[in-house]
Structure 1
Amino acid sequence: MNITCSANLRNYSLSVGVPLPEVLSVSGDIKRFHIKGEKRGSSNGWYVVNFARNVYRVVFGSWRTGETFKWNNSSDYRPSVKDLYLAKKRKAAREKQKRDKQISTALLADREYKRAQDASASHPYLIRKNISPVDVRQIDNRLVLPIYSKPDEIVNLQYIWPDGRKRFENGGRKKGCYGKVGKSVTDDAWLCEGYATAVSLHKETGLTVFWGIDAGNLESAAKNLKTFYP
Structure 2
Amino acid sequence: MSRTTETFQSSIQELSKILEVPSGLIVPHLSEIYVRNYEKGQVIYYQGSEADSIYLLIEGYVSRERLNENGDDYLMLNRGHTLFPISHLFEQEHYEESCTALTDALIVRVPKNLIEYLSKNNEDTFVKIFTLLRQEQQISINRNMALMGRNAEQKVINTLRILGETIGNDQGAYYEIDKVMTVTLLSALAGVSREKASHVVRGLSNNNLVLKNYQTWTISKSI
Larger of the two Rg values belongs to structure: 1
TM bucket, shorter chain: under 0.3
**Quick one: higher RCO (CA 8 Å, sep 6+), 1 or 2?**
2
Scaled by the length of structure 2, the TM-score of the pair is: 0.24
Scaled by the length of structure 1, the TM-score of the pair is: 0.24
More helix by share: 2
